[in-house]
Amino acid sequence: MTVQEIAKQFATKGNIDEVKTHGGGHINDSYHMINATASEPDYLLQRVNHHVFKDVPLLMNNLSIVTDHVQAKIKKDFPDDVERRCLTIIPTTDGQSFFKDPEGNYWRVLRFIEDHLVFDSTSDPAIAYEGAKTFGAFTVMLNDLPANKVGTVIPDFHNMKWRLTQLKESIRKDVAGRLKEVKKEVDYVDTRSKLMLTVHELGEKGAIPLRVTHNDTKISNVLYDTNKKGLCVIDLDTIQPGYVTSDFGDGIRTLTNTGEEDDDNLDRVTMDVELFEAFASGFLDSTRDILSDTEKDALLYGGLLFPYMQAVRFLIDYLDGDTYYKVKHPEHNLVRARAQFKLTQDGESKFEELKMIIKNLS
């Protein structure tokens, strides 16, 4: 089936005259459905990667629960703006939340949010603050949705202990014969593992609660309005039970990096303290009243953990022969891993300074 034919399976309004590739996630494929009828919205058609998301019906059920819950909250403050401030699922013509094509691919359609801005990175603290405030507001809206109301989409997704076990497995198998190139990185993982298990241990002890968390809070997953005010949190696929440190940590990882996620010049990769402070300030301005003191103290560890965990994940995929992330060239996962390790190192070198920032904002 062509994407045009797939687009026709959904109960969209108006007349769709063009379906074109959209955006650049590492996992799903997205298409913008352009409406020729001016009074009707555009849509976003997405193929959900069922190799990564093994239970798409469960994922879509989570998406329905969370969008219903969040929309009900937004309706109180912004009754006329709900569809710009929260994703809306468009059902198929027979009322399902997704369409499975004859080849076994899963598709869904969301309402396209018009007139938005999106930032893959920024050096502007005001944008950092707004993005964090928007993610924090999302955390707050989900505060009264018990964690067990949503299913686990990817087991152990942000479980650092399990990621270390997975790395050991990949080292042992060395299927792509690449282990010899990454000895230095493997040693570094070992030296930092104790510190990086802090969040895991707090969770195991029950010192920080499971919440409904987003789990992919990179800054490009916030849409802004044209005045650069936070509008909507997107990419809700990884929503599942998790710790608040995930949503703080991935924001810090993507936002404070002065280089690229896959920068091959490690001198460019540092953790920007001003952006860290802006992000922490926005996040805590939203969440200050709902987080416990232990959760607030744990945020810093989340900020250091996420570059490290992402580096380990890229390293695993490099050792496994690039089976998970889309890569542009054979060394891509290694370059990514090295950049994320550099970010971890730089963040850790600023530990005391970052700790004071969180303490003062808490």
Q: Could you list the residues that contact ligand GN1 (CB under 6 A)?
A: 25-27, 52, 216, 235, 238, 261, 310
Between CA 6 and CA 31 the distance in angstroms is 11
Question: Taking the complex as a whole, how short is the minimal distance between the CB of residue 231 and Mg ion, in angstroms?
Answer: 18
Member of 185, 216, 297, 320 binding Mg ion (CB under 5 A): 216
Helices 183-196 & 160-173, crossing angle to 10 degrees?
160
235 binds Mg ion (CB under 5 A): yes
Sites for Mg ion among residues 124-163 (CB under 5 A) = none
Handedness of CA 250, 253, 254, 260 (dihedral sign): negative
Question: Taking the complex as a whole, how short is the minimal distance between the CB of residue 255 and ligand GN1, in angstroms?
Answer: 13
263 binds Mg ion (CB under 5 A): no
When CB distances are held under 5 to 8 angstroms depending on the partner's kind, the choice from Mg ion, ligand GN1, none that residue 310 binds is: ligand GN1
Question: Taking the complex as a whole, how short is the minimal distance between the CB of residue 27 and ligand GN1, in angstroms?
Answer: 3
Between CA 233 and CA 245 the distance in angstroms is 17
DSSP character string of 283-327: HHHHHTTTS-HHHHHHHHHHHHHHHHHHHHHHHHHHHTTS-SS--
Pick the closer one to ligand GN1 by CB: 109 or 337: 337
When CB distances are held under 5 to 8 angstroms depending on the partner's kind, the choice from ligand GN1, Mg ion, none that residue 26 binds is: ligand GN1
Pick the closer one to ligand GN1 by CB: 9 or 307: 307
Pick the closer one to ligand GN1 by CB: 73 or 332: 332
Pick the closer one to ligand GN1 by CB: 29 or 81: 29
Q: Calculate the alpha carbon distances from 287 to 78, 141, 290, 362 in Å.
A: 20, 10, 5, 10
Counting residues that bind Mg ion (by CB under 5 A) gives: 2
The pair of structure tokens assigned to 183 is: 């000895």
Which are the contacts of 68, defined by CB distance < 8 A and separation ≥ 6? none
Q: Which stretch binds Mg ion (CB under 5 A): 78-86, 162-170, 205-213, 227-235?
A: 227-235
Q: Calculate the alpha carbon distances from 203 to 133, 217, 309, 352 in Å.
A: 24, 20, 16, 23
Question: Taking the complex as a whole, how short is the minimal distance between the CB of residue 5 and ligand GN1, in angstroms?
Answer: 25
Q: Are 232 and 112 in contact (CB under 8 A)?
A: no
When CB distances are held under 5 to 8 angstroms depending on the partner's kind, the choice from ligand GN1, Mg ion, none that residue 52 binds is: ligand GN1
- What residues make contact with Mg ion under the rule CB under 5 A? 216, 235
